[in-house]
Amino acid sequence: MTSPTPQPCETSTATRKPLLTLGILNNYRESDETRLFLTPEACGMLHTMGIRILMESGAGIDITYSDEAYAGHGVEIVTRVQALHAEMVISVRSLKASDVMHMRPDATLMTLADPELPRDTVQALLDRRITLLAIDRICSANQQYTFERVLEEIDGRAAILYAQEGLSFLGEGKGVLLSGIAGVEPCEVLIIGEGCRVQSAAKAALSAGARVTLMDNDISALFDAEANCGPMLNTSAIHPHVLYNKVKSADVIILDACTREFDFPKQLSAAMKDNVYLLDMAETIPSLIVPRTVAMAMSNVMLNFLSETLQMGGIIRQIQTMPGVQNAVVTYQGRLTDKLIALRHGLYAVNISVLLSATAN
């Protein structure tokens, strides 16, 4: 497909040398990924900061934004190869090795963490001396994994959208609401797990009018859930007898990782209602159904991060001086720093702090 001609910038930033060139990539069409991390308005704000933005044509389709909408905010609509040649490239998922080889040497790539990063992609990153940042591992100065938390909150709330549709006639369910009405009991939602994602699901289910129970195998995590979700939330430790009774009566069951390792007993499947709606967060990414919300929320975080990048004088300086950003480094200028990926492929990983110390000396 022929890409539209890049649109000229109308502001004064067009005549200045850009402080940073940022490439935004479309998702692979063969994947189920729908999300994008920057809206046209956010791109316009980055443009006024002095960032030149090159976006692959069609990248905004899944969030219902046209190329023209981005071009109207100073974005240049280009081919994939042109976007890949930016100083910093943003892609939701990890790239294929063939795409990495189109990146300029010593560039920066920002994606979500991928513990199963293919060996050929890792090698391409090392060969091109690409610095790869897993954005959901970036920790802020106040010790918040902001990118990750935003996505987890959306995943949790979107999980209840899945459940509502699954219970409805359109979703081939039994045709009921989560909420009760006069004379009709609300649905029972059982959530097993801990953290922001399950708490967000609990809040959304409570707001929809359901009766919600959250179970975990750590009492301190349940204290935290009660504090965040309010007194309407029922909490319970995972006890075999209690778990059996809750599973037996639940209309919706949502599973996620618990504080301590826990495998949902397969034999409990026999206790479930025939038309129960079951969702396992380990196998589902609910935020895929609300990609525009993801784009709006992630834009806020990305604006703060990239503003800080400019203030620091570039991403390398940001990595060198900020431990929270170091935490997200997977590869750094030709060296692998992620131990799990190294172990997976039989490679050697260098601790990022050691690597930075050696570079400084």
Residue range 232-246: mean pLDDT, rounded: 96
Q: Return d(Cα 258, Cα 263) in angstroms, integer.
A: 9
CATH dotted code for 152-288? 3.40.50.720
Task: Give me the DSSP letters along 206-248.
Answer: HHTT-EEEEEES-HHHHHHHHHHH-TT-EEEE--HHHHHHHHH
**pLDDT (tens digit per residue) in 311-341:** 999 999 999 999 999 999 999 999 999 999 9
Residue 4: pLDDT band (50, 70, 90) is low
Choose between 359 and 217: higher pLDDT. Answer: 217
Length of the chain: 361
From edge to edge, which strands make up the β-sheet containing 51-56? Answer: 76-78, 51-56, 20-24, 88-90, 108-111, 131-134, 329-332, 335-336
**What are the start and end residues of each CATH 3.40.50.720 domain in the chain?**
12-144+290-360, 152-288
Confidence of residue 357 (pLDDT cuts 50, 70, 90): confident
Least trusted range by pLDDT, from 14-23, 220-229, 292-301: 14-23
Over residues 56-80, mean pLDDT: 98
Give the separation between CA 201 and CA 341, rounded to whole angstroms: 31
Q: Report how far apart the first and last C-alpha atoms of the chain are (Å, whole number).
A: 49
pLDDT at 1 over 90: no
Could you report the per-residue pLDDT of 188-198, keeping only the tens digit for each?
A: 999 999 999 99
Domain 12-144+290-360 in this protein, CATH class: alpha beta
What pLDDT, in 10s, does the model give residues 104-144? 999 999 999 999 999 999 999 999 999 999 999 999 988 89
Global pTM exceeds 0.85: yes
* Tokens (6 digits) for 22: 């940022």
Average pLDDT, the chain: 94
Q: What share of the chain is helix, strand, coil (3-state, %, to 5)?
A: 45, 15, 40
Which pLDDT value is given to residue 349? 96
